[in-house]
Structure 1
Amino acid sequence: MADLIPIMQLGNPIIRQKATGVDNIHDEKIQKLIDDLIATVIHANGVGIAAPQVAEQKRLFIVASRPNPRYPKAPTMEPNAMINPRIVSHSAETVKEWEGCLCIPGIRGLVPRYRVIEVEYTDRYGKLQKQELTDFVARIFQHEYDHLDGIVFIDRVESTHDIITEQEYQKQVINNT
């Protein structure tokens, strides 16, 4: 049975540490961590969560896009564990869109990200996956990938003028679209 895990907040030193690779994907602890991360991200209305966000320094994250109060226009997909992920290539084109983070509640930032990325990762069953991701799902991958290297979205905003509160985001962006 999956458990909800406390999400670390910005300021906790673990958020800024670099994660280490997962050696044994089939280890019970890793499989349990995957289940717990999925339960936690769904409960928190997130669209992704990385192991370092719950104080597990492993190169593992979940991409779980679906419409929810924080991201009402998110595409729907099954939660997907991505273990030891890497970006193989990316488009030259970048797009600035609003991001939030479960580690930084109440804040949104306008973050430039590659629109298209080609990625590789191992799934929870030990199979190497190669995918091309675009737009919102590519953004989630890049956001979570950054967590594995101790980077948070506010590190990527181009100006402090590109940071707003969640309340203003809901008023200006969600309610005006």
Structure 2
Amino acid sequence: MPIRPILSFPDSRLRMAAAVVTRFDAELGVLAADLLETMRAAPGIGITAPHLGVLARVVVLELTPGEVRTYVNPELDWVSPETIRHTEGSVSMPGVTDEVERHARIRVRYQNLGGNEQTEEASGLLAVCHQHEIDQLDGIFWIDRLSRLKRDRLIARFNKLRRG
């Protein structure tokens, strides 16, 4: 379970859609374990395989220490019309955050590491994380949800942080 390198914004691979996982084998389990260790080291509360340059629809979340959730091929099945605003960031763009508007409640359909289909309803932070990570799997980076002005300012702050 090595800690793998995380792609940094603006790497073009962060804008690529991930492929559906069709093989539920030991290799998938290794990827999920590597995602968890890499996310913890970052640190973060959510990560996708594309953050590591692996274009597979795999998400690992750990909103509460020790409560690890792995989602394979997740997709939104239902979203509420109500929205909430929550501060978001990315392991690929450390040091900067901004508020993003998302659906307040959602239902997600996914498979577990064994390939079994599951559904989960979520609200609050968990709903925000699902939407954030599914966007990433679809090649939509979180800052795309900001206005152009906010996005440009955030990128400028990130570039300044990177220059030291």
Mark yes or no: TM-score above 0.5. yes
Query: Which of 37, 44, 49 is matched with 2:42 structurally?
Result: 44
2: CA distance, partners of 1:114 / 1:158: 17
SS at 1:34 equivalent:
helix
Query: Which of 80, 98, 101 is matched with 1:91 structurally?
Result: 80
2: CA distance, partners of 1:150 / 1:142: 12
1: CA distance, partners of 2:133 / 2:38: 15
Quick check: which one's helix share is greater? Answer: 2
Moved over 6 A (4+): none
Residue 150 of structure 2 corresponds to residue 158 of structure 1: no
CA offsets 1:98-137 (integer angstroms, 9 cap, x no match)? 1010111121121001110001100112221111011101
2: CA distance, partners of 1:139 / 1:120: 15
TM-score (norm 1): 0.82
Map of 1:73 onto structure 2? none
Map of 1:69 onto structure 2? none
Query: Which of 59, 62, 68 is matched with 2:60 structurally?
Result: 62
CA offsets 1:68-108 (integer angstroms, 9 cap, x no match)? xxxxxxxx561111001110001001111110101111211
Is there any run of 5+ residues in structure 2 with no aligned partner, and where? 159-164
Map of 1:145 onto structure 2? 134
SS at 1:143 equivalent:
helix
2: CA distance, partners of 1:104 / 1:48: 13
Map of 2:14 onto structure 1? 15
2: CA distance, partners of 1:160 / 1:147: 21
> What amino acid maps onto 1:85 in structure 2?
P
RMSD between aligned alpha carbons?
1.7
Report the count of equivalent residues: 155
TM-score (norm 2): 0.88
Task: Report sequence identity in percent.
Answer: 30
